[in-house]
Structure 1
Amino acid sequence: MARIGVLGGIAAFALVFALLFRLHPYAMGAERITQFFITEDGYLMLTLARNLAIGLGLSVSEGTIASNGVQPLATLIYAVAFWLVDGDKLGGVSIVLGLMVVIWIMAALAVRRFAGAVLGPDDGEGSGLRAGILAWAVAALWSVGPLSVRHSMNALETGLYVLCVVLFVLVFGRIAGQARRLETGEMLTLGAMAGLAFWARNDAVFLIASLFFVRFVYGWTLAAVGFARAFWEGLVAGGVSLVIGLPWLLHNKIYFGSFVPISGTSQSHAAAIGGNLDILPAKLFETMFPMLPLPGFAETSLPVQIVLSLIVLVVWSTFLWRIWRAGHPLRLALLGYSLFGVLQCFYYGTFFGAPHFLSRYLFPLSPLLVTAAVAQLIWLAGRLRLMRLAEAGLAASILLGVALTLNLARPGQNVQGHFQVVNWVRENVPEEDWVSAVQTGTLGFWHDRTINLDGKVNPDALAALLTEGHFFNYVVQNEKIRWLADWYGMAAFGEEPRGGFRDVFEVVVADEAQNLAVLRRVTPE
């Protein structure tokens, strides 16, 4: 019992720490609240959420540019925060911070429930470690560490999506993992959970397809409900999910010409095929072992890629093999969840750009991968009679995650990266002037008259990128743009000949130390 008490105590300590760390900006003032957790893209979502709350609809740029470059469910939730404070920016951000903490708590409890259901009444190998303790340990390991903290507190949909994914998998496992016909109510429930996951993030179509596919094959073959009945179950559940997701899909298609939000098109239109495959093994490894972040130089090393790929594949595949061989009640759900992971890896590794976001895109797999790693550790330790060592290793992993999270609070370790641009604009740009930038999440939230150039939330800029391959004509012809302000690299635009850009804009700030560049439209004499 003492062994169980030690691991349980460490898990409890880590979870309390994870809660306090996520809450600590409240004790440190407005600067910490606005700059510590919320990312550049998080501010893009908050801009649309705030404009929706104050009656400007889904829009940016002081309500003048309609946009769908967000995921809808989180945007609607965050809009409530700004509605409660009549659009006050600091007040809304403060409430959003609290909402993210609440969503993380719900997700951590869901991960604990998932891990407990996977591990069963005990670890399955007679080690004496109860699944309840292990489940809390999994939840603690999942909750600490830089990746989990950043992804669950980024003001995007990431934490909410993980919650929806885990709940969907649990409900699916309870309903669809049985060798019998599904009742109508059960089919409707599965469809509703699928629709909710889609509203959280539209790549849930991979999860929906994966889970419903494995149920169809299982129902048709092993469950012996017949082809027609298995097909009907998938048709009903899938139809319900489509009906739930249809308003968002139609909104996108009617007003923006594509079912995919413009943010997705913006990030993928110039992606090289297979452009993210070189870092995929490292990101999967870090997702499976959140207490072991890798240095950047190791991510693209071929020997490292091979070793990490083998580790992830061996742990993941042997975990699934053991689960299926044992006839685990969640075997169908875990197979579908894993197929979803394969599709995620294939799509984001092969066809999508934005390699710096790959870790976030894979984060919905973290409950599965962390649970698989812990389950395999306990199984192997049980076979080798090294349970004390395994428990010590798990406890050390949790504490290492705590230490890495603490490191984020050191000065310069978790810098938001865009407030130098916000501060310069506040101090130097007249209120009535319009500013433009490639990265307009943070700037666009704090300075309403900001026009986006990378197309994530600006359909006109995206159209220019898709048709011309650049936005320089768009900027030159949009005469209300008086300033451009962004990171230091923008200073190179001062020599850009396309569209006559260099004749229209002059560089007024090029500060590499501050990572800041500012250009101003030349006023004719």
Structure 2
Amino acid sequence: MSNKNQVALAVLVLLAILALHLSIAWQDIATLSRNGFLYDDSFYAFQIARNIADGNGITFDGVNPTTGFQPLYVFMLVPAFMIAGESLSIPIYIALSMLALFTVMTAYLVYRIARKYTEFMPAVIAAAIWGLSPIVAKQGTNGLETAVSTFMIALSVFYYLDRIRHEARPGVFRFFVFGMLLGITVLSRIDGVFLVFVLILDYLLLLRKRRGTSGTLVRMLLLPAGVALFYGPWLLLNMAQCGSPLQDSGTATRFLSMAYATYFENGDAGLAVNGPDLAFIWEHVKHSIATMKVIPPVHVFFRSLEKTGDIIHAKGFLQITGNILGIVALVLSGIVISRWKRDPDRARRRQLDFLLLFCGLLMLSYSLYVFGAFFFLRYFYPVYMISCIFFSFILEDIIVWFRARSVVLQRTAISVATAYALLFMAFTGSQVFRSQPVYPFYDIARWVNENTEKGERIGVFQCGMIGYFSDREIINLDGKVNRDALCALKTGSLSGYIQKERLDMILDHSRILQIFLDMTPEKIRECCIKVLPEEKHPCGWVALRRDALDIITSTDIIGGSVSEPGMAPMKK
């Protein structure tokens, strides 16, 4: 294929990716909010950016300062809220359109990185699989920093490969730019610290192999300096306000993962007090491995197995089969990658081994410490991008193997690949254009506006979307964007916090009230109001008014001190 045709095909792929993601971004707000395109956490970012734009400080509720967000993305949103005025939808459309552009740019970088080690066709196919895959269609425009941070990871890796790693003596300016890129990467999402670590480690090992000079080592100091320049101020703010390098949301996610263990059926009720046990950790390890089934090149295969299981009533059997096949595929991929070093032409691919280490560290951090299994699909988003780069290498080997085979076998392979590509696009289309309601938050916000008075203060655990769309004062209770509430949860003094804040209503899913307010199902039926009772499928949310809350508190269903029964103090 001529260079002109290669450029045309690459541009066509990028335009197709842009069209797909803009078609998602420009759906009506109700569909985006209800059907799982936007997370509830997305609206924490939107609301914090809106408060910054309105001069209310770095807060979700306009009162409590927070660091429960990834700063780069939120700060990028502030101008959108400044120019949008009172509109709630325009800033969201601006944000999602921006995320669509970041997804396209990431696809381009996937192509450029893969192209350094493969022929044109495997590289452009890898970019297409990345940008057009079902998982990227759902996560690329999710209203969070996911697309931005993954782009920064890809950009930092590309710059390292293009301007640092292959140069005998990279100049001071290149190291300084590289350090700034890494700093912005960490600012986009704190997980970027793992990338900083593996890149510095890779370059140190390379210098050892090359017998690098002390001058190069001195220039390497510009890398942590660049990180400190961009991430340092935010780190100092975190340390000053939280006493920890972790943002409020990261600390809360770990705690809530254990507190919600019974809700998600992956642990016992006492984990939030006693800390994680081996069974809980093992559940997260298994879930981490299971999420690898949505890696873009193989996602459709495993999803087809699940669909087939539903149709033939053999879901359990085919699920086990899929798990076994997935483990076998991971092992075989590892064997293939390890054998590349035996071939001089393929050995260059091992220069990207640091990306595999990055993936491992990222997955281990969430499996063993942070947890948050309910968000693994977006936490591991960079892993899916990196998998497409390595898939391009495997695809090139497959293409080379078939070139030496008969025409009949080649045509058969092309037919199978075409069928898989059509199935791939069908699954992506179903994600985009046949979505179904997933979250009730948008309609609950409407219920709040219709069933409460202006000026009322309402406490909600899962409150992102409700706080954004309702015009009431919504106070976060799960601690993601309210460290005082998180402290109350950890010390078992939530009722004291509720009383101090003079909340007029507590609102959330009945199971959440059982966990944090120690309310029995009978007490919930007696004291709470059903939210959205007119819906065909009840959402399970209930509201607890102040009068009922006062009665419950006075009868010690919710205590008022560290020893109260709602949630015992968390062990250090």
Deviation per CA, 1:321-364: give whole Å up to 9, x if none: 52685367964751221211111121112222211211211111
Deviation per CA, 1:296-338: give whole Å up to 9, x if none: 9779977754542331243255236526853679647512212
Equivalent position of 2:385 in the other structure: 367
Contact persistence 1:42–1:441 (CA under 8 A): yes
Equivalent position of 1:243 in the other structure: 229
Residue type matched to 2:300 in 1?
M
Inter-CA distance 292–348: structure 2 relative to 1 (3 Å threshold): farther
SS in 1 for 2:56: coil
Inter-CA distance 207–349: structure 2 relative to 1 (3 Å threshold): same
Inter-CA distance 235–438: structure 2 relative to 1 (3 Å threshold): same
* Equivalent runs, 1:280-429 vs 2, <5 Å: 280-288=288-296, 289-294=298-303, 295=306, 304-316=322-334, 318-319=336-337, 321-322=339-340, 325-326=343-344, 331=349, 334-384=352-402, 385=405, 388-409=411-432, 413=436, 415-429=438-452
Equivalent position of 2:507 in the other structure: 485
Q: Distance in 1 between matches of 2:468 and 2:342?
A: 49
Inter-CA distance 156–224: structure 2 relative to 1 (3 Å threshold): same
Q: Distance in 1 between matches of 2:338 and 2:416?
A: 22
Deviation per CA, 1:73-116: give whole Å up to 9, x if none: 11111112111113532221222222222222222222222222
Further displaced range: 67-76 or 108-117:
108-117
Residue 424 of structure 1: how far off its partner (Å): 1.1
Equivalent position of 2:529 in the other structure: 508
SS in 1 for 2:528: strand
Inter-CA distance 54–17: structure 2 relative to 1 (3 Å threshold): same
* From 147, 151, 162, the counterpart of 2:139: 151
Further displaced range: 335-344 or 100-109:
100-109
Equivalent position of 2:201 in the other structure: 213
Residue 520 of structure 1: how far off its partner (Å): 1.3
Inter-CA distance 398–349: structure 2 relative to 1 (3 Å threshold): farther
Inter-CA distance 491–183: structure 2 relative to 1 (3 Å threshold): closer
Residue 449 of structure 1: how far off its partner (Å): 1.0
Contact persistence 1:144–1:405 (CA under 8 A): yes
* From 284, 303, 310, the counterpart of 1:276: 284
The reply to whether residue 464 of structure 1 matches residue 461 of structure 2 is no
Inter-CA distance 396–474: structure 2 relative to 1 (3 Å threshold): farther
Q: Distance in 1 between matches of 2:391 and 2:413?
A: 12
Equivalent position of 1:82 in the other structure: 81
Contact persistence 1:461–1:474 (CA under 8 A): yes
In structure 1, runs of 5+ residues without a counterpart are: 123-130
Deviation per CA, 1:208-258: give whole Å up to 9, x if none: 1001101101101x21215x4564343332222222210110111112221
Inter-CA distance 210–224: structure 2 relative to 1 (3 Å threshold): same
Identical counterparts, % of pairs = 22
Residue type matched to 2:125 in 1?
A
Q: Distance in 2 between matches of 1:254 and 1:22?
A: 39
TM-score (norm 2): 0.79
Contact persistence 2:26–2:93 (CA under 8 A): no
Inter-CA distance 491–202: structure 2 relative to 1 (3 Å threshold): closer
* Equivalent runs, 1:20-35 vs 2, <5 Å: 20-24=19-23, 29-32=28-31, 34-35=33-34
Equivalent position of 1:125 in the other structure: none
Residue 199 of structure 1: how far off its partner (Å): 1.0
Contact persistence 2:34–2:438 (CA under 8 A): yes
Q: Distance in 2 between matches of 1:5 and 1:464?
A: 62
Further displaced range: 179-188 or 91-100:
179-188
Q: Distance in 1 between matches of 2:245 and 2:426?
A: 43
Further displaced range: 190-199 or 330-339:
330-339
Further displaced range: 153-162 or 505-514:
505-514
Equivalent position of 1:445 in the other structure: 468
Further displaced range: 282-291 or 150-159:
282-291
Inter-CA distance 86–333: structure 2 relative to 1 (3 Å threshold): farther
Q: Distance in 1 between matches of 2:220 and 2:481?
A: 35
Residue type matched to 2:30 in 1?
E
The reply to whether residue 264 of structure 1 matches residue 285 of structure 2 is no
Equivalent position of 2:97 in the other structure: 98
Further displaced range: 481-490 or 241-250:
481-490
Further displaced range: 363-372 or 510-519:
510-519
Q: Distance in 1 between matches of 2:384 and 2:22?
A: 22
* From 185, 205, 223, the counterpart of 1:197: 185
Inter-CA distance 491–177: structure 2 relative to 1 (3 Å threshold): closer
Contact persistence 1:491–1:519 (CA under 8 A): no
Further displaced range: 170-179 or 250-259:
170-179
* From 234, 244, 261, the counterpart of 2:220: 234
Inter-CA distance 52–180: structure 2 relative to 1 (3 Å threshold): same
Equivalent position of 1:522 in the other structure: 547
Inter-CA distance 409–360: structure 2 relative to 1 (3 Å threshold): closer
Inter-CA distance 178–30: structure 2 relative to 1 (3 Å threshold): closer
Residue type matched to 1:255 in 2?
Q
SS in 2 for 1:276: helix
SS in 2 for 1:65: coil
Inter-CA distance 85–325: structure 2 relative to 1 (3 Å threshold): same
Residue type matched to 1:58 in 2?
I
Aligned pairs, number: 503
Equivalent position of 1:127 in the other structure: none
Inter-CA distance 28–466: structure 2 relative to 1 (3 Å threshold): closer
TM-score (norm 1): 0.85
Inter-CA distance 94–212: structure 2 relative to 1 (3 Å threshold): same
Contact persistence 1:67–1:457 (CA under 8 A): yes
Q: Distance in 1 between matches of 2:216 and 2:415?
A: 46
Q: Distance in 1 between matches of 2:317 and 2:355?
A: 25
Equivalent position of 1:223 in the other structure: 210
Deviation per CA, 1:112-132: give whole Å up to 9, x if none: 22222231xx2xxxxxxxx1x
Further displaced range: 251-260 or 31-40:
31-40
Q: Distance in 2 between matches of 1:77 and 1:167?
A: 18
Contact persistence 1:78–1:96 (CA under 8 A): yes
Residue 403 of structure 1: how far off its partner (Å): 1.1
Inter-CA distance 412–152: structure 2 relative to 1 (3 Å threshold): closer
**How much is the aligned-residue C-alpha RMSD, in angstroms?**
3.4
SS in 1 for 2:543: strand
